[in-house]
Amino acid sequence: MSTKKELKILKNNDIKYILNKICSIYRCSCKALLSKEYIEVKGPLFSQICLLNEGERIDRIIAGLQKKNFYPYSVGLPIVKIKGHNNFSPLLPLGQLLVPYCKNIVKVGEKCASKLTYGKAVSVSHIYSFRYGIAISLMDDFIAFVKIKALRNQSEIIPVLDIGLYLREYG
């Protein structure tokens, strides 16, 4: 595999498959997201799909950097990580973007939200009809992508990717 990074401004069709797949997991409508601009930053181990504004201007700067064989470390807001064919996962910044468009929503109070941000599972006395959801606060803020495990008369909410990562990894 090449150790060089490559960049590709993505058209709607390129991103449609991946976003639709993610949206179907959380029962979201992806229409609003599909009209935005994206770039794919391909690295040696994985690629990232990044949301951006002003694709043309960014393209000009990237072309300048490539003249000297520089590739950006990152461009715009990374929202999806691609590890291989059909192997991709959402990144934290996608969470808040999805919240208004999704049905698999798990609303949690402050205490539960705090626990989730420590990467810890919480049990609640509520039965959910789905396995994968998006945990949000009472103020509709994205907290985590979660997995739901059904227990007797209650559910365990297991964080898969939570905003506490920002603190745990980088302080």
Partner 1 sequence: MQSINDYVKKYDRVFVYSPTAQAKLLAKKYGFLDYMVQRYLEIMDNPENFLMSCSYPLKKSIRCNNLKINCNELVNRMNEKGFSLSKIDWLSHGYLVTKLPARPSLGSTLEYMMGYYYIQGIASMIPAYVLNPTARDTVLDMAASPGGKTSQMAGLMENRGVILAVEKKKERIRKLQSNLNRLGVLNTILVRTDVRNIKGTGLSFSKILLDAPCSGEGLIPEDQTRKTKTSIDKLKSFYINQLELIKIAWNLLDDNGTLVYSTCSIAPEENELVVNYALDELNMSVEKVIGFPADPGVTEFMGVELNQDLKFCMRFYPHKQGTEGFFICRLRKN
Residue numbers at the binding site for partner 1 (CB under 8 A):
51-54, 57-58, 61-62, 64-65, 67-68, 70, 72-78, 91-93, 96, 110, 113-114, 117, 137, 139, 141-143, 163-164, 166-167, 169-171
Which amino acid, one-letter code, is at 137?
A: S
- For the bound state, the minimum distance from the C-beta of residue 170 to partner 1, rounded and expressed in Å, comes to 4
Q: Which residue, 71 or 130, is less far from partner 1 as judged by CB?
A: 71
- For the bound state, the minimum distance from the C-beta of residue 47 to partner 1, rounded and expressed in Å, comes to 15
Handedness of CA 105, 109, 114, 115 (dihedral sign): negative
Q: Which residue, 6 or 110, is less far from partner 1 as judged by CB?
A: 110
Please give the helix or strand (H or E) that residue 67 lies within, else none: helix 55-67
Q: Which residue, 86 or 171, is less far from partner 1 as judged by CB?
A: 171
- For the bound state, the minimum distance from the C-beta of residue 142 to partner 1, rounded and expressed in Å, comes to 7
- For the bound state, the minimum distance from the C-beta of residue 71 to partner 1, rounded and expressed in Å, comes to 8
CA 159, 142, 111: angle at the middle one, nearest 5? 65
Structural tokens at position 141: 């803020």
Q: Which residue, 109 or 154, is less far from partner 1 as judged by CB?
A: 109
The answer to whether the CB of 38 falls within 8 A of the CB of 80 is no
Q: Which residues, in sequence order, are bridge partners of residue 42?
A: 6, 47
Q: Which residue, 6 or 24, is less far from partner 1 as judged by CB?
A: 6
- For the bound state, the minimum distance from the C-beta of residue 108 to partner 1, rounded and expressed in Å, comes to 11
The answer to whether the CB of 106 falls within 8 A of the CB of 123 is no
Q: In sequence order, which residues have a C-beta less than 8 Å from that of residue 158 and are 6 or more positions away? A: 121, 146, 147, 148, 149
